Amino acid sequence: MNLSEKAEKGSQRFRYIKLCIFFSGLSVFAQLYLFQPMLPTVSDYFKTTAGDSSLLVSSSTIGMAIGLLFFAFKADSYSRKKMMTFSLVSSALLTIISAWMPSLSLLIATGVLKGFVVSGVSAVALAYLTEEVHISVVALAISMYLSGNTIGGMSGRILATILAGEFGWRNAVLIIGIESLILGLVFWKLFPDSKFFNPQKTDYSLKVKQMRRFLTDSYMLRLYCIAALLMGTFVSVYNYLTFRLEDQPFSLSHFVIAFIFLMYIFGVFGTMITSRLSKRFSRNLILKGSVLFMFSGTLLLLSENIYVVIFGLGLFTLAFFAAHTMASQMTALHAKHGKSSATSIYWLFYYFGSSILGSGTGYILHAYSWTVFIMVLLFSVGISFVLAARNRDLGTIKVL
């Protein structure tokens, strides 16, 4: 197959890839974090603490991490399209089922299973794009996927909050599950099959060697740790800011707080900006700059002025998605062989960071204060900057 046959900008194949990869990100992240804005409501319903209720978010991300570890070995054994379709449809069905779960523990268990099956999308999406899309538009295609993640996360949170307020949290979960199922069926009908990949029997020894190579490559390992720390910080802020804004001195209503998640629009800008800037500046500079802006946004969340907090959250969100887009692109492009293994490990770290920091900081907030909570997050972002600064060759990656 000639490389010139890869999907190029303007072709029908590229348009379908862009649309469907966007829908996949929309579905995955609408489901993955739909409980996040409803944590205070669910916490009251089940009479539990903020830290315990946050397990509803962490359970899905833990399942995601376990699934990514599994798919790091098995992803190349399945058709890319079939695996992603199965993940989208089965996760939607689990979301629908979870609307009837009678206890918090069963809801958490369902979340783990949902995270596991939906990980099939994240395990191969970046690999599919780098395999099937012409190199000139790979950055654009990846940005579309991550924009779908961003908008899915935003719309899922806002919709969940509004629907929960109007119809109860169980009906909110049911409606989002049905919408995700529709997106999965559209994906199944329209997403193009792979031209440059054929399923192959898993060579476990080769996979172990690939993973060992990536995990001992200091360049890749730093990117993986950056993903874990930044994602953990991001999830922590969005998990617990709702609790903060409900209390003094803000005392905002649940309905008003729902629109705080419109800040995710800045995440879309973040992914778009990196796509443009990467043509003019080194990847190293973009990543370091993004992490610095994220640090500044986190610092502003200490304010007791709601306008400063909103500005800080917008800056924080834009910078996180810019950094994440840059780091995930560099991971996919740096791996000349074993792309699915490299990207699976990236997402593995990403979601372990989400799970561990996302729940752990909730217990810190419960035990201490918002100020201590923010200081822990600033420390995490600061370490990320140090790691990014040490990867001096980030702007010189060549794709072979």
Query: What is the rounded CA–CA span in Å between residue 280 and residue 289?
Result: 14
Kindly report the number of other CB atoms within 10 A of residue 293's CB atom.
18
CA nearest to 121, candidates 156, 159, 90, 158: 90
Give per-10-residue mean pLDDT for the chain (400 aa): 68 90 89 84 82 83 86 82 95 95 92 93 85 84 81 82 87 94 96 86 79 89 96 92 87 80 82 81 89 97 94 95 90 76 83 87 89 97 95 44
- Contact assessment for residue 188 and residue 18, using Cβ atoms and an 8 Å cutoff: no
Residues 6+ apart with CB under 8 A from 168: none
Query: What is the rounded CA–CA span in Å between residue 130 and residue 353?
Result: 25
Instruction: Please give the model's pTM, rounded to 2 decimal places.
Output: 0.79
Torsion over CA: 22, 25, 28, 32 (sign): negative
Domain 3-396 bears CATH identifier 3.30.360.30: no
DSSP 148-208: HHHHHHHHHHHHHHHHHHHH-HHHHHHHHHHHHHHHHHHHHHHPPPPSS-------HHHHH
Give pLDDT, residue 1.
45
Query: What is the rounded CA–CA span in Å between residue 349 and residue 223?
Result: 9
Q: Please tell me whether the peptide bond between 249 and the residue prior to it is cis, using omega within 30 degrees of 0.
A: yes
Kindly report the number of other CB atoms within 10 A of residue 57's CB atom.
27
Gyration radius (Cα) of the chain, Å: 20
CA nearest to 206, candidates 110, 337, 321, 298: 337
